[in-house]
Structure 1
Amino acid sequence: MSSVLARRFISRSLSSRTLLYPTRNTSSTSTSSSSSPSPSHSHSRRNFLTLTLTAVASLTAYTVGSLYPPPPPLSLLFPPPAPAPPDPTSAESLEYTVSLEEQLLSLPLLHSLRTAPDAKEWYEARPYKSFPEERRVNNLTAGALRGPGKLAIPPVVWVRRDESESYVFIHVGRGLCGHDGIIHGGLLATLLDESMARTAINNLPERIGVTATLNLNYRAPTKADQFIVIKTKLGEVKGRKANVVARVEDMKGTLLVEAEAMFVQPKYAKLLNTAVMRQVMGEPPKSDHEPVLLADGQDMKALRREK
Structure 2
Amino acid sequence: MSSLLVRRSIFRPLKSRTLTSSPRNSYSTSSDPSSAQSSASPSHSHSRRRLLTLTLTAFASLTAYAVGSIYPPPPLSLLFPSPAPAPPDPTSPESLEYTASLEKELLSLPLLQSLRAAPDAKEWYEARPYQNFPEERRVNNLTAGALRGPGKLAVPPVVWVRRNESESFVFIHVGRGLCGHDGIVHGGMLATLLDETMARTAINNLPERIGVTATLNLNYRAPTKADQFIVIKTKLGEVKGRKANVSARVEDLNGTLLVEAEAMFVQPKYAKLLNTATMRQVMGEPPRDDHEPVHLADGQDMKALRREK
2:210 aligned with 1:204, yes or no?
A: no
Cα distance, 1:65 vs. partner? 3.1
CA shift at 1:286, angstroms? 2.6
- How much has 1:144 moved relative to structure 2? 0.3
2:237 to 235, 238, 243: 235
State how 1:152-191 maps to structure 2 within 5 Å: 152-191=154-193
Counterpart of 2:73 in structure 1 is 71
- Shift of the alpha carbon at 1:170? 0.4
Higher relative contact order (CA 8 A, sep 6+): 1
The within-5 A match list for 1:118-267 is 118-267=120-269
Q: CA deviation at 1:60?
A: 9.0
Match of 2:91 in 1: 89
Give the one of 107, 110, 115 matched to 1:108: 110
Distance between the aligned counterparts of 1:88 and 1:130, measured in 2? 19
Moved over 4 A (4+): 58-61
- Matched position secondary structure for 1:193: helix
The amino acid of 2:91's aligned partner reads T
1:71 Cα deviation from its structure 2 partner: 2.2
Letter in 1 for 2:221: R
- 1:251 to 1:59, Cα distance in 2 relative to 1, 3 A: same
Give, in whole Å, the separation in 2 of the partners of 1:82 and 1:64. 25
Aligned partner of 2:74: which letter? P
Q: Which amino acid aligns with 1:182?
A: I
SS of structure 2 residue aligned to 1:186: helix
Q: Percent identity?
A: 85
Cα distance change on mapping 1:82 and 1:202 into 2, 3 Å? same
**CA–CA separation in structure 2 for the residues paired with 1:162 and 1:78:** 46
1:113-157 Cα offsets, whole Å, 9 max, x none, are 000000000000001122110000000000000001100100000
Amino acid at match of 1:200: A
Partner of 1:38: none
**Post-superposition shift, 1:195?**
0.1
- Partners of 1:249 and 1:136 in 2: CA distance: 27
How many residue pairs get matched? 235
Q: Distance in 2 between matches of 1:107 and 1:180?
A: 26
- The answer for the alignment partner of 2:276 in structure 1 is 274
**CA apart distance, 1:84:** 1.2
Distance 1:175 1:197 in 2: 24
Segments of structure 2 that go 5 or more residues without pairing to the other structure are 1-49, 291-309
User: Cα RMSD over matched residues?
Assistant: 2.0
Report the Cα offset of residue 63 of structure 1: 5.6
Inter-partner Cα distance in structure 1 for 2:90 and 2:224: 24
For 1:144 and 1:244, how far apart are their aligned partners in 2? 26
- Cα distance in 2 for partners of 1:181, 1:235 equals 34
Other-structure match for 1:62:
61
Q: 2:180 & 2:66 partners in 1: Cα distance?
A: 31
Q: What is the DSSP-based 3-state SS (H/G/I as helix, E as strand, rest coil) of the residue aligned with 2:101?
A: helix
SS of the counterpart of 1:215? strand
Matched to 1:112, the amino acid is: S
User: 2:194 is paired with a residue of what secondary structure?
Assistant: helix
Q: Note the alpha carbon deviations across 1:82-129, whole angstroms, 9 max, x for none.
A: 111111110000100110000000000000000000000000000112
* Inter-partner Cα distance in structure 1 for 2:92 and 2:65: 39
Give the drift of 1:59. Answer: 5.3
User: CA 1:262–1:75 in 2, change beyond 3 Å: closer, same or farther?
Assistant: same
